[in-house]
Amino acid sequence: MTTPPVAEGGEGPGATAARLIGRAMTRERALSGTLSEVTLTGGRVVMVKRGDAPGAVRAEAAGLYWLADTGTVRVPAVHGHDERWLVTDRVPPGRPSGEAAARFGRDLAALHAAGAPAFGSPPPGGPKDAYIGLAPMRNIPGTDWPRWYAERRVLPYLRRAVDDGTVRPTEAAVVERVLERLPELAGPAEPPARLHGDLWNGNVLWGADHHVWLIDPAAHGGHRETDLAMLHLFGCPHLDRVLDGYQETAPLADGWADRIGLHQLFPLLVHAVLFGRGYAEQALAVARAALAR
C-alpha cells in the first residue's frame, strides 16, 4: 500500500482532514503519492489531495467553487483547503451509461453558457498563475480568442518544448503557421465560455447516482469547443451521447468537428512538455492537418 503523503511539519492527510472539517479521522488510505481517501467519525468519507506547487490548491478550489456556482455540472463539494491541502467529497463510483452521458452533455452546455468575463479570466479568488495538471498555466485575460489562444495557450508550451529539445525549430514553424491562420480557421466568434479546462476522461467520474461528476479543473474563460476537444483527445465513454445532449441544449457552430484539432494543440503541447516526444508528434500531425484545410 502506498504510504499516505505527509506535509512538512508532520501533518498527513488524515490529520489535515480532521483539522479542516473538525471531525476525528478513523481511517486513511493512500491512492497515490498526493491523493488519499480519509474516513472521519460519523462515516463521512472525503478525498484529501496535496498540492506541491505554489498556488495549485487555491487554483483548484477556486475552480471547483466557480463551476459549482452555476448549478450545472456536478463537482465534489469543497470541505476545506489551505496552501498545501484540498479536502473534497468522495464520489462513489458507478458505471458509464448513455442516459448519464446525455445528461452530462446538457449540463456541460449550460456550464459553458454561464460564461466568463474574458478569455483567460481566472475564477474569482483564483490566481493568475495556475496549473493544468503539473504544468504551469497563466490566466491572463484577452478579448480576441484567436490571438489569446495563440499567445497564452499554444506558444508558451511550444517554446518550452523547443527549449527542451522535444520539438525542433523547423517543426515549431509548422505550428506557428497554424497560429498565423487562426483568425480564418477558428470559425465564428463566440463569447467566452466557463470552461472546466482539463476535461480529459480521467477527470470525468461516473457516479453511483447515475450522474457524471467532474474533478481536477483548470478552470478559466475560454472557447467552449476546447472542452469538447479534450473529451475527444483521450476518449470518453458514450461520447456520441454526450455530444447529442450538448447539441440539443446549445448547438455548435458549423464546422466544429473540423476544428477539434486546433483546440487539441494546447493540451497536446502541454503533454509534450510533461511527457515527451510522442505528444509532440501528435501536435505536429494536428497542425499539418489544419494547414491542409
**Which of these, 57, 64, 18, lies nearest to 34 by C-alpha position?**
57
Question: 3-class SS at 29?
Answer: strand
Query: Is pLDDT above 60 for 1?
Result: no
| List of residues 6+ apart from 290 with CB closer than 8 A | 178, 181, 185, 261, 262
Query: How far, in Å, are 206, 229, 245 from residue 211 at the CA level?
Result: 6, 21, 14
- State the cell numbers at 20: 479542516
In a domain, 8, yes or no: no
Segment 136-140 mean pLDDT:
96
CATH number at residue 123: 3.90.1200.10
Same domain, 190 and 250: yes
Which residue range(s) make up the domain with 195? 98-291
Residue with grid cell 499554444, as numbered in its chain: 154
Q: pTM for the whole thing? A: 0.94
Query: Is pLDDT above 60 for 5?
Result: no
Structure confidence by residue, pLDDT tens digits, 197-239:
999 999 999 999 999 999 999 999 999 999 999 999 999 999 9
Same domain, 80 and 113: no
Q: What spatial distance separates the first Cα and last Cα of the chain, rounded to whole Å?
A: 51
In a domain, 1, yes or no: no
Sheet with 85-89: list strands edge to edge.
25-30, 35-40, 45-50, 85-89, 78-81
**Which of these, 265, 267, 276, 262, lies nearest to 161 by C-alpha position?**
276
Structure confidence by residue, pLDDT tens digits, 69-121:
999 999 999 999 999 999 999 999 999 999 999 999 999 999 999 999 999 99
In a domain, 142, yes or no: yes
Burial of 148 (0-12, 13-18, 19+ CB in 10 A): buried
Query: Is pLDDT above 70 for 271?
Result: yes
Q: Which amino acid would we find at residue 257?
A: A
Instruction: Report how many domains make up the chain.
Output: 2
Same domain, 17 and 121: no
| Active site amino acids | 198
In a domain, 84, yes or no: yes
Same domain, 161 and 238: yes
Structure confidence by residue, pLDDT tens digits, 6-23:
444 468 999 999 999 999
Q: Which amino acid would we find at residue 231?
A: L
CB 44 within 8 A of CB 76: no
Same domain, 115 and 81: no
